[in-house]
A and B are shown apart, each in its own frame.
Chain A
Amino acid sequence: MMRKLIGTCLLLMIFLFAEAQTNVFLIGRTLGEKVIANGDTLRVYGFAPSLSTHPPIPAPLIEANQGDSVHIDFWNVSQLHHHTIHLHGLDVDQANDGVPMLSFSVDHMEHGWYHFEAPHAGTYLYHCHVGSTLHLQAGMYGPIIIRPSDGSNTTWDGGYAFDTETLLFMSELDTFWHTDSILDHEHIDGAVHDTLLVPKYNPDYFLINGLSDQQLEDSVELNSKTNYVNYFRLVNIGYCTNKVIFPSSLGARIVDSDGRPLPIEEFSDTIEVYPGERYGVLVESSVPILDSIEVHYFDMMTSELKNIQHVKVDIRVPNQVEEFENVIDFSIAPNPVDQDVRISFDLLKETNLSLRIVSIDGKLMLSEFPRVYEQGKHTLVLSTNEYASGQYILSLSDGNNVTSKSFIKK
């Protein structure tokens, strides 16, 4: 009996003190497609979550908590090309650094495994480091968010708490670089590195979270409430300098950069983000705001302003009652979800409701027109098969009141 008790205690201790493990599966592709703002379809490279989907730009978000053990299974399905995953900013050891001549590269139809212990809460990124000038522009990049040890909505362990979180992942597209003559570059098996002839760079689309212009305005925005603390993660993986200009009424303060808290936070409405850099910015407002964040793109050779993109900011006064008085027992299950998610709620009276799902990086996944739901219990089932792994916010609204819950897609 005593032995059994000791055994149970040991098992419990192992369970309590063992680090969590995050497993990620990514597929390297070179025949992906992306629809750009003018409706054209471009060929792209990228990291896809499954063979049935085109690689999204940016690639799927990798999320873990500080201290977690993260394992990435990278399967390269891209014909002649080899690729790697560089874990930018995570200071991983040489074997996992993803630089072909110093660690390893992954050939077509081969798997490569990368591992790291998430060291510091913060914003990072991953990208291919083979022929990197070309492979990044082709689309092989994505974000990594390391959350505090407890996974809470704070900037880092003991850092600032926040109510909303928005990722602005900035890059550009030069459509000429996305033609077969450029993307089908020569690769020599066994070579230390590919020698590539890099064409002149003249980007014609300027992206935030892979979107630009009308695509961006329809999808990425800050929807928040007065006196909420809103945390922005700014990342630049393009070849331009970004100047991110917040409305002055938001009182923007820069609190972290490159995965480390700043020793002295800086109050500035304008944040310059150079390629490879990341910044964490907190904003809040005590009054309603309907405005936009401007993201400027500057040529790094000439300092010429090339483009401006806008991210809508809509901050409203919260309703006196956070939850709908007539919506009770609102739940999402299972959570985390693998395929179908069940949304359950109970209405005390007939209500005109709309449903909306937004990814943590601000991408609008679903926006239903309002429809009438009768009094009583309701269960909706939605497929998340097309969703990338990550966190999503599901909101129910009657036009005046909003209630939200988050869920994780595995």
Chain B
Amino acid sequence: MKRALLTLVCLLGFQTIFFAGNVSDTIYINSGQGLFVNGKQMPCKGFNSTPTYENRNAQLSVGIMDTLVLTIVNNDTILHGFDIRGISGYKDTLQQGDTLEVTFHSSTPRVCIYYDHINYPNNAYMGLAGILAVGANANTYYWNIKDHQSDWNDSIASGGVVDWLDYYPDYFTINGLSNPDINSDTTARVEGNIGDTILIFMANTGQAEHSIHFHGYHCEILYSTSSSMHAGRIKDTFPLKRMEGYLLRLVPHQTGEYPVHDHNLLSITGGGLYPFGMFLTILIQ
């Protein structure tokens, strides 16, 4: 029995050493005109996977014990920064046209938020904040949750000053999209089968707080950026403070199409219109 256990431990150790590897990715700091629900446009910024601006930030992923070699290119005309929230040693800056290379690895599954710490929170608010997932599987989804007060994007983009105590966002997005467009994002819209192990990497990179509610299912918190006490809790509603996130495990027990939405119901609006906000559905066959 002892020998069998020892063999298993050795094999697992060997497997970890053998399979741990490097993955490379490049992201670009872009600025552009973001297109939102019902045709609304506003100036935005993003860490994108191509040199062209899009609302969705790059979804970075690395396996447990693997090393991510990440190249960041500043395509914008002003100074920007890069940092990974809650992990020391990553804070750095990039002048216009600069390139920065960082390496990252984690021995445990977790959700991390990478973001621009310069002129915080303005640059992050304009869109420069995304999800870095550790331990994704074949059934993994990403929910990068943001909010915008549309006239503030114009103001910040033109160098204006805003008072965050007056913040009243009017657009609410997941991966840069609002209802009904979120359901067409295959990285956001959960589709699966009964008994699947589905992982959801969820982070609030906006400047409002949110409370994400699941219909039809409870999920288990595998990791929380805000407290280790949260791990293992099984819930249907997940409070999200600013720049905090969860790694959730969903194992569906029933078929059907069920909504997931912010239960701060003011966030199910877009430009003041219900239901064009933070609302999508899960489809289980």
A residues sitting closer than 8 Å to B (CB atoms) are 86, 88-89, 91-94, 97, 99, 102, 131-134, 136-137, 193-201, 239, 241, 257-260, 262-264, 266, 272, 274-278, 300-304
Q: Is the CB of A300 within 8 A of B209?
A: yes
Q: Are B236 and A89 in contact (CB under 8 A)?
A: yes
- Determine the interface band of chain B, counting residues with CB < 8 A from chain A: 35 or more
- With the chains together, A211 CA to B48 CA distance in Å? 49
Residue in B closest to A298 when the chains form the complex, CB atoms: B209
Are A197 and B232 in contact (CB-based, < 8 A)?
A: no
Which B residues lie within 8 Å of A278 (CB)? 237
CB of B281 within 8 Å of the partner chain? yes
B209 touches A102 (CB 8 A): no
- Measured CA separation A199–B253 after assembly (Å): 38
CA distance A4 to B81 in the complex (A): 85
A197 CA to B274 CA, complexed, in Å = 6
User: In the complex, what distance in Å separates the CA atom of A199 from the CA atom of B225?
Assistant: 34
Residues of B within 8 A of A197 (CB): 272-274
Chain B residues in the interface with A (C-beta under 8 A):
147, 164-169, 207-211, 213, 215-218, 229, 232-237, 239, 253-259, 263-266, 268-269, 272-275, 281
Q: Which residue of A92, A99, A194, A272 has the most chain B CB atoms within 10 A of its CB atom? A: A99
| In the A-B complex, the 6 residue pairs with the closest CB atoms | A276-B263, A94-B256, A274-B239, A274-B211, A263-B232, A276-B237
For the complex, give the distance between the alpha carbons of A258 and B218 in Å.
9
**A interface majority secondary structure:** loop
5 A-B pairs with CB atoms under 8 Å apart are A99-B215, A193-B275, A197-B273, A274-B237, A301-B208
Contact B215 A133 (CB under 8 A): no
Min Cβ gap B235→A in Å is 4
Interface Cβ pair total, 8 Å cutoff: 130
Contact: A301 with B237, CB < 8 Å? Answer: no
User: A132-B265, A276-B263 are contacts. A86–B233 as well, Cβ < 8 Å?
Assistant: no
**B234 neighbours in A (Cβ, 8 Å):** 258, 260
Residue of B nearest to A136 (CB): B265
Within the assembled complex, what's the spacing in Å between the Cα atoms of A239 and B68?
39
Query: Contacts A99-B259, A275-B264, A276-B263: A195 and B274 contacting too (C-beta < 8 A)?
Result: yes
Are A264 and B236 CB-contacts (below 8 A) given A102-B258, A198-B269, A275-B264? no
A94-B216, A304-B165 known; A264 vs B268 contact (CB < 8 Å): no
Q: Are B265 and A275 in contact (CB under 8 A)?
A: yes
Q: Is the CB of B211 within 8 A of A277?
A: yes
- B residues in contact with A304, CB < 8 Å: 165
A283 to chain B, nearest CB (A): 19
Q: Complex formed: what's the CA distance from A193 to B274 in Å? A: 9
Residues of B with C-beta under 8 A to A195: 273-275
Distance in angstroms between the alpha carbons of A92 and B165 in the assembled complex = 40
